[in-house]
Homo-oligomer: A and B are copies of this chain.
Amino acid sequence: MIEKSLKIYQSTKNKINALNYAMYMINWDSETEAPVGCLEERSKQLGNITEMIVSLSHKKTYVNALKDIIANKDKVDEITWLSASKEFEELEKELKVPSKELVNYQILLATSGQTWLEAKQTNDYKHFAPKLDKIITWQKKYIKYLETPNCKGYNVLLDTYEKGFTEEDYDKFFDTLRTELVPFVKEILSKKPIDDSFNKEYYPIELQKEFAKYLLKVMCFDKTKNVIKESEHPFTTGYGTTDERITCHYYDHLLTSFIFSIIHEMGHATYEKNCDPKFDDTALSGGSTMAMHESQSRFYENIVGRSYQFWKTHYPILKQTFVEQLKDISLDQFYRAINKVENSLIRTEADELTYPLHIMIRYEIEKKIFNNEVKTKDLPKLWINFIKNI
């Protein structure tokens, strides 16, 4: 019996893996270079692929094979058992949602990215609001499907994102942040600000790319396994341990953006690359949890990337690249500038100290969204209020 289950499991899993690999490729293409004109075609194909994944993984024979494997821990190898268990856990949730809705949500997401990009580039929230509203509506429905007596409302989403964490945990965490960190930030902000005006000089993108090459080498970028490209919003993606890709965004009047994006994303990429290859093509691939992932990227960015020792070695090279712009800026000035605390409006450009406040605001906003206390159209107002009254 278990042999039959293993056979069904492996042959279905091979197909699901291939389809996930296809999704990975299509999404990477879509974020980094696909022409906007093919959006409709691409969304249709993404919908078709999602439909195939859903129909394969929801098949009774597959679900039963998973159950059989989980029940026979002593008869299967450890990795298979762990992978099947993780898949089943996720599948149990998914099975509560009608397949058609899972597919439509993927199509919605596929078309939303472009709308978000247009809205961002024209600074027009109204353009994106209808899509965002549909996403929120879907998430609220998703909550309804998944709610249990022990896990309700926003907690359903929190648990999906980082298993085991609840509003109660986060409230406690952010309360500490509010009482301890906010006064400290305010104290710093009351002092004479550090001069980082050099950061907003003109930095030709070609030269930024030249320094990026150097920096990537420093961060152990391995061109046999890594790819770097540009995208509106920096991110890391990958498949298994042999293919990790990062993006950054070059701004011609902002020196530090691409630098800390590269260091941050290389944290994610390095984490995935250094996973044990025995997890490749299993549900255990891609790192353990989102929190673990982010701990790696932020360790790289803040503990390594904003340290004096790091720049003692690498600042001379940066100075060589931007001779004119940095000629009056000493290592000490640079070091202080990249650690400057300020009321930034952009999360990904935020310093180490105010970054958590962005997360706190995001959390408070999401709580209000899923407690039905704010309408999608009023989100910008709410956000500004939070920023002002922190």
Judged by a CB distance under 8 angstroms, whether A21 is at the interface is yes
Please state if B242 and A15 are interface contacts (CB–CB under 8 Å): no
Please state if A227 and B45 are interface contacts (CB–CB under 8 Å): no
Please state if A41 and B227 are interface contacts (CB–CB under 8 Å): no
Please, what's the 1-or-0 string for A235-260, where 1 marks a CB less than 8 Å from any CB in chain B? 00001101100000000000000000
Question: How many residues does chain A have at the interface if contact means C-beta atoms less than 8 Å apart?
Answer: 39
Q: Which of B21, B33, B49, B52 contacts A45 (CB 8 A)?
A: B21
Residues of B close to A19: CB separation below 8 A:
22
Q: Interface segment, A23-31, A94-102, A357-365?
A: A23-31
Q: A10-40: which residues lie under 8 A (CB-CB) from chain B?
A: 14-15, 17-19, 21-22, 25-26, 28-29, 33-38, 40
Residues of B close to A48: CB separation below 8 A:
14-15, 17-18
Q: A206-230: which residues lie under 8 A (CB-CB) from chain B?
A: 206, 222-227, 229
Residues of B close to A37: CB separation below 8 A:
222, 224-225, 242-243
Please state if A40 and B227 are interface contacts (CB–CB under 8 Å): no
Judged by a CB distance under 8 angstroms, whether A92 is at the interface is no
Judged by a CB distance under 8 angstroms, whether A280 is at the interface is yes
Question: A52-B15, A52-B18, A227-B33 known; A239 and B26 CB under 8 Å?
Answer: no
Question: A41-B239, A41-B240 known; A223 and B35 CB under 8 Å?
Answer: yes
Please state if B280 and A35 are interface contacts (CB–CB under 8 Å): no
Question: A48-B14, A48-B17, A48-B18 known; A243 and B25 CB under 8 Å?
Answer: no
- Give complex CA distance A226, B29 in Å: 13
Please state if B41 and A242 are interface contacts (CB–CB under 8 Å): yes
Question: A17-B45, A49-B18, A52-B15 known; A239 and B25 CB under 8 Å?
Answer: no
Question: A22-B49, A52-B18 known; A280 and B41 CB under 8 Å?
Answer: yes
Q: Which of B34, B222, B227, B243 contacts A243 (CB 8 A)?
A: B34
- Give complex CA distance A22, B20 in Å: 10
Residues of B close to A240: CB separation below 8 A:
38, 41
Please state if A28 and B26 are interface contacts (CB–CB under 8 Å): no
- Give complex CA distance A7, B224 in Å: 45
Residue in chain B with minimal CB distance to A52? B15
Residue in chain B with minimal CB distance to A29? B25
Please state if B35 and A225 are interface contacts (CB–CB under 8 Å): yes
Q: How far is the CB of A102 from chain B (nearest CB, A)?
A: 15
Q: Which of B14, B25, B224, B280 contacts A36 (CB 8 A)?
A: B224
Residues of B close to A222: CB separation below 8 A:
35, 37
Residues of B close to A15: CB separation below 8 A:
48, 52
